[in-house]
Amino acid sequence: MGSELLELSLEDKLYRTRFETDSDFHHITVKDPVCRSCSEKLCLYICPAEVYKPNPNDSHLVTAHYENCLECGTCRVMCEQEGIEWRFPNGSMGVKYRYG
């Protein structure tokens, strides 16, 4: 079973997780002025769920697709400029693990 998980795509791994999305409350916000001044954009590479993507309208900015957030906190730790505002989702919203 362990080696099977290593061979799964990100989409297959995320399928094993259930999300209760709160469309009225985005628990992740990227601070555009801070993001614009960041040259490394580590958030594009460190998020295990690939929540962060380059903004298609502005190559200096990043967008957050909070719906897939695993709530691991990696982005908060890695963004040294504190350009990511991350709050826990409201109430019973957010990630719910199906297997574990």
What six digits make up the tokens of 68? 């897939």
What type of residue is 94? G
pLDDT at 3 over 60: no
Question: pLDDT (tens digit, 9 = 90+) per residue, 25-70?
Answer: 888 999 999 999 999 999 999 998 899 999 999 999 999 998 888 8
pLDDT at 2 over 60: no
One CATH from 3.30.70.20, 3.40.50.300, 3.40.190.290, 1.20.120.160 for 25-92: 3.30.70.20
Q: How far apart are alpha carbons 57 and 84 in whole angstroms?
A: 19
Whole-structure pTM value: 0.77
% of the chain beyond a pLDDT of 70: 87
Q: How far apart are alpha carbons 95 and 82 in whole angstroms?
A: 23
